[in-house]
Amino acid sequence: MAKQGIQITNAPQPAGAYSQGIVANGFLYTAGFGPQDPATGEVPEGAAAQTRQVLKNISAVLAEHGLTLDDCVKTTVHLQDLADFAEFNAAYSESFTQPYPVRTTVGSQLANILVEIDVVAALPAA
């Protein structure tokens, strides 16, 4: 299996031994991204603002292969507090169109952030 790593400067840099994204077998897989602004490192306040920044970070990685959030087929969402679900979901819904990607949303112990998301996007058929 051939795989291609993605490493860009306009998304948060990995904090460990992982790629921002990998292209393999017709899909682009992203790492889990938090809401850090890649230029400043700042984290916005609130679940909605953090969700928007996370999706902006993911969009930057997708754009490296000419993809958008509408190419996503699967998302996995980690929320620090599941009580933030409605606020998160409203902001998330602004960025996707139907048919929405399948999604798993779980409560997680996150380090000083409220939202983390990873996606799987389908590449165009060659």
Per residue in 89-106, pLDDT tens? 999 999 999 999 999 999
Residue 14 confidence (pLDDT) above 70: yes
Joined tokens for residue 18: 């992982």
Residue 126 confidence (pLDDT) above 80: no
pLDDT of residue 1: 75
Nearest to 96 by CA among 121, 114, 113, 79: 121
Joined tokens for residue 32: 């889990």
CA distances from residue 5 to 1, 8, 26, 30, 47 in whole angstroms, order as listed = 13, 10, 14, 10, 29
- The CATH architecture one would assign to domain 3-122 is 2-Layer Sandwich (3.30)
Percent of the chain scoring above 70 in pLDDT: 99
CA distance 104 to 74: 8
CA distance 85 to 106: 10
Q: What is the mean pLDDT of the chain?
A: 96
Rounded to two decimals, the pTM is: 0.95
Joined tokens for residue 20: 């921002």
Residue 20 confidence (pLDDT) above 80: yes
**Single-letter code of the amino acid located at 75:** T
Give the pLDDT confidence of 45-70 residue by residue, as tens digits: 999 999 999 999 999 999 999 999 99
